[in-house]
């Protein structure tokens, strides 16, 4: 069966965690319909190109949270759900700093969630219900089936429309509104309006996916009720995108369907979910000091970590360390605790202590992206540029869209003052960081500058030429 295409959708849901719980239930075999019938208008290569194009547009125009630890918590759940499907590896997952409850997916494998979705959820099972619903839209090719009705339209126009939506999310929406006006807006309205049957199908199959992955299906019905009670409006999409109406029929069907499945307990990792939730609230300015102090009176682990981060952001290192010490008395091995501890040392330029804090943890879990990035940051600060570069090159090899890793590579190259290709490498890495942050023109200009400086090194020049050609082609992509 061919890999299914990713569509653009709109949802409204919850949060995630990364520590994998142990589930004891056995998932039943579900009858998930298979959608076949040829390649369709969007082939796999084009869908990936669309996904990467929109990934860059979203990063350029939306207030994206560049927090590797938080991204990894969501990616864990997303990957677990994807294991229930025949879909391929996604382009990426982005967390947007926005208090509104919302999430969306786009053609090619990009999934984005609002921070408000995290703070509104009660447990990780609720976020799994959001992702399950979105993945079901993808798996059933709801977007592609609509798209095939309009074969004369170019898909890159959709990326342009998405850019317009991003622009419209800013305080001055004139530019974005202009992008979406006229035939493009009308086309989008027709293509992305999910039918009532498709919504119900996504609810049903999404619940099957989340149950198969070990999440409580009651959470979907629970979060539907949370959405229904919420008076907040979706913040950055025009009215014609609100094509996922939450009807009383959908709510009652979700509860009935969940009741028919074998019972399963909610995740037993609630403490870690609370860590994610309150950490998100702090880094997005959704939590006050008074709220956190009140929670801390209950000797709450999540509140201690959240307060440590809160005071760290304010530069109050004594209070940050005091709360972190309280958290250590409960659990000293949490990855976020070690990341915050390292940042407390780094902010005070205590580089040896920072290295001693992060290095053992990264050695225990070398596959942990957040720990590896933090170790690389420490190594750069210590002028151990080659060790940092080796570590970071492994990360970008695994994910060429890792903006944080490219930024650290740029810093490492700049700190390596004796390297004969220092300036060229700084420009190369800066180009990648700019490009994947959505500033395609700046990225190409940086690479052109590197190209001019590398004229005497044929091997380096060939590498730059190849990458430059690909960047320019992707920027001018016509589909």
Q: Which of 47, 125, 134, 416 is catalytic?
A: 134
Q: Which of 71, 201, 203, 402 is catalytic?
A: 203
31 an active-site residue?
no
Beta bridge partners of 96: 64, 114
Q: Please, are residues 6 and 51 in contact by the beta-carbon 8 Å criterion?
A: yes
Q: Which residues are annotated as a binding site?
A: 133, 137, 199
Convert the chain into a string of H (helix), E (strand) and C (coil): CCCCCCCCEEECCCCCCCCCCCCCCCCCCCCCCCCCCCCCCCCHHHHHHHHHHHHHHHHHHCCECCCHHHHHHHHHHHHHHHCCCCCCCCCEEEEECCCCCCEEEECCCEEEEEHHHHHHCCCHHHHHHHHHHHHHHHHCCHHHHHHHHHCCCCCHHHHHHHHHHHHHCCCCCHHHHHHHCHHHHHHHHHHCCCCHHHHHHHHHHHHHHHHHCCCCCHHHHHHHHHHHHCCCCCCCCCHHHCCCCCCHHHHHHHHHHHHHCCCCCCCCCHHHHHHHHHHHHHHCCCCCHHHHHHHHCCCCHHHHHHHHHHHHHHCCHHHHHHHHHHHHHHCCCCHHHHHHHHHHHHHCCCHHHHHHHHHHHHHHCCCCHHHHHHHHHHHHHCCCHHHHHHHHHHHHHHCCCCHHHHHHHHHHHHHCCCCCCHHHHHHHHHHHHHHHCCCHHHHHHHHHHHHHHCCCCHHHHHHHHHHHHHHHHHHCCCC
β-strand 110-114 against 92-96: which pairing, if any?
A: parallel
Residue among 383, 385, 361 at smallest CA distance from 374: 361
439 an active-site residue?
no
Across the beta sheet with 103-106, the strand order is: 9-11, 103-106, 110-114, 92-96
**Tokens (6 digits) for 420:** 């004969």
CA dist 327 and 126 (Å) reads 26
Q: Which residues are annotated as a binding site for Zn(2+)?
A: 133, 137, 199
String of b and e for 441-473 (b: at least 16 CB within 10 Å)?
eebbebbebbbeebeeeeebbeebeebbeebee
The length of the chain, given as a count of residues: 479
Question: Which of the residues are catalytic?
Answer: 134, 203
């Amino acid at each position: 069966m061919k890999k299914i295409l990713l569509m653009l959708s709109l949802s409204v849901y919850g949060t995630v965690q990364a520590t994998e719980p142990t589930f004891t239930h056995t998932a039943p075999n579900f009858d998930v319909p298979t959608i076949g019938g040829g390649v369709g208008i969007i082939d796999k290569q084009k869908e990936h190109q669309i996904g990467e194009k929109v990934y860059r547009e979203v990063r350029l125009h939306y207030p994206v949270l560049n927090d590797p630890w938080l991204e990894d918590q969501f990616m864990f759940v997303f990957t677990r759900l994807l294991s229930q499907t025949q879909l391929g590896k996604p382009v990426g997952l982005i967390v947007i700093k926005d208090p509104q409850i919302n999430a969306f997916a786009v053609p090619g494998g990009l999934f984005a969630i609002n921070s408000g979705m995290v703070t509104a959820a009660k447990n990780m099972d609720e976020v799994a219900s959001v992702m399950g619903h979105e993945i079901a839209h993808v798996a059933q090719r709801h977007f592609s089936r609509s798209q095939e009705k309009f074969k004369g339209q170019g898909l890159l126009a959709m990326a342009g429309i998405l850019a317009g939506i991003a622009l419209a999310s800013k305080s001055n929406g004139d530019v974005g509104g202009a992008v979406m006006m006229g035939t493009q807006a009308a086309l989008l309205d027709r293509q992305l309006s999910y039918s009532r049957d498709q919504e119900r199908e996504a609810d049903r199959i999404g619940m099957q996916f989340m149950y198969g992955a070990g999440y409580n299906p009651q959470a979907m019905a629970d979060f539907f009720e949370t959405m229904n009670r919420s008076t907040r409006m979706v913040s950055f999409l025009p009215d014609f995108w609100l094509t996922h109406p939450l009807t009383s029929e959908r709510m009652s069907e979700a509860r009935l369907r969940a009741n028919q499945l074998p019972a399963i307990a909610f995740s037993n990792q609630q403490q870690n979910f609370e860590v994610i939730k309150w950490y998100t609230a702090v880094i997005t300015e959704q939590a006050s000091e008074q709220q956190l102090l009140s929670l801390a009176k209950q000797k709450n682990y999540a509140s201690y970590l959240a307060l440590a981060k809160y005071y760290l952001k304010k530069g109050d290192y004594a209070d940050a360390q005091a709360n972190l010490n309280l958290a250590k008395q409960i659990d000293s091995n949490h990855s976020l605790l070690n990341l915050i501890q390292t940042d407390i040392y780094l902010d005070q330029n205590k580089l040896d202590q920072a290295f001693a804090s992060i290095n053992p943890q990264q050695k225990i879990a070398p596959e942990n992206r957040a720990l590896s990035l933090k170790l690389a940051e420490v190594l750069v600060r210590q002028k151990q540029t080659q060790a940092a570069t080796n570590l970071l090159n492994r990360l970008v090899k695994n994910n060429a869209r890792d903006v944080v890793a490219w930024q650290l590579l740029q810093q490492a190259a700049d700190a390596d003052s004796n390297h004969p290709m220092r300036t060229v490498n700084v420009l190369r890495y800066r180009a990648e960081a700019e490009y994947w942050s959505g500033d395609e023109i700046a990225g190409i200009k940086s690479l052109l500058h590197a190209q001019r400086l590398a004229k005497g090194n044929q091997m380096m020049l060939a590498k730059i030429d190849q990458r430059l050609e690909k960047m320019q082609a992707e920027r001018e992509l016509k589909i």
